[in-house]
Amino acid sequence: MTFAKRTLGKGGPEVSALGLGCMGMSEFYGHSDREAALATIAAALEAGITLLDTGDFYGMGHNEVLLAEALRGKRDKAFIQVKFGVQRGPDGSFLGIDARPSSVKTALAYSLRRLETDYVDLYQTGLDPAVPVEETIGAIADLVAQGYVRHVGITNVDADTIRRAHKTHTITALQFEYGLMSRDIEHEVLPVCRELGIGITAYGVLGRGLLTGSKGSGEGDYRNILYPRFQGENLTRNERLAAALAMVARNEGITSAQAAIAWVASRGEDIIPLVGARTVERLAEALASPLQLPAEALFEIEKAVPEDAVGGQRFMVAH
């Protein structure tokens, strides 16, 4: 089956207009079921979803191993983008970012083994304060020249860092949190990406579940620990926004999730929303999102979740 396509970056690869974010299949959002995760990835591929997002620190390698199992015999159907650099302790704690050139190459070596592939389609990391971004991107560029990486990406950095990175090697895509609840990318980062022809893969489209009624609680769910928006008065405020969005969505004959996805998709052909579905049912709901809505509907969706009404910062620790 084919799904709508978009080009990732100016002159970049063609990928599905929605991507599947696999992080929640390994940790952070509560219990995840291996069989359900494998079934979800299989259903995504069958539906024509090609862009699959993972990270070597999701479950300390678990997510890559899971993805490898799901892609056996189907590697050619997938565009795999991998985040690296975040350091984790044995207890799961976050220890910072290591993006030294030697670490870049070591991390990829392990990712290739876990993913059971000889290349990744897009390799990306955030900024290591101790390492000039030119050195990090230069190391990924070496891996491109050697055939281990097809495209270079970067995550969660400011406009100046994007410019410096792009001068070192063409940046195909920036990964950044973007959705009704997280719009700071629009002020400086998005204009620079458009100037340079860099595509966007947007995570947090559903506000990490806030817009669909999640409270971020329960065994194995760390959202109410890691993210201020799930805490105290912030949560109360954000639940009111979710209720307003639900009312607008009902009037349009769609779900809150579909409204939030459609809004992000409407922000430009250079933006690929990532959906973090962990079950076939949630995936089907996301795939049924209208990628085009009338301007009036988009206006009402945006009005339901005003940028200045969101309670709390995006995160307390590096994503």
Across 50-61, b (16+ Cβ under 10 Å) vs e yields bbbbbbbbbbeb
pLDDT over threshold 70, residue 224: no
| Domain-embedded: residue 306 | no
pLDDT over threshold 80, residue 302: yes
| Domain-embedded: residue 61 | yes
Mean pLDDT over the full length of the chain? 90
Tell me the chain's radius of gyration from C-alpha atoms.
18
Q: Residue 144's pLDDT is what? A: 98
Across 89-101, average pLDDT: 92
Question: What percent of the chain is predicted at pLDDT more than 90?
Answer: 74
| Domain-embedded: residue 262 | no
Active site residue 58: yes
How many distinct structural domains can be found in the chain?
Answer: 1
pLDDT class for 318, splitting at 50, 70, 90? very low
| Domain-embedded: residue 251 | no
| Domain-embedded: residue 317 | no
pLDDT over threshold 70, residue 234: yes
Q: Residue 74: give the domain boundaries.
A: 5-228+268-290
Pair 171, 136: CB distance under 8 Å: no
Catalytic residue among 58, 123, 148, 227: 58
Note the pTM of the prediction, 2 decimals: 0.90
Q: Residue 319's pLDDT is what? A: 40
| Domain-embedded: residue 263 | no
Q: Which CATH number is 176's domain given?
A: 3.20.20.100
Across 6-27, average pLDDT: 93
Least confident interval from 28-32, 155-159, 241-245: 28-32
What's the length of the chain?
319
**How far apart (Å, rounded) are the C-alpha atoms in residues 165 and 199?**
14
| Domain-embedded: residue 172 | yes
Q: Residue 31's pLDDT is what? A: 67
| Domain-embedded: residue 126 | yes
DSSP per-residue string spanning 214-276 = ----STTB-HHHH-GGGSHHHHHHHHHHHHHHHHHHHHHTS-HHHHHHHHHHTT-TTEEEEE-
Q: Residue 128's pLDDT is what? A: 95
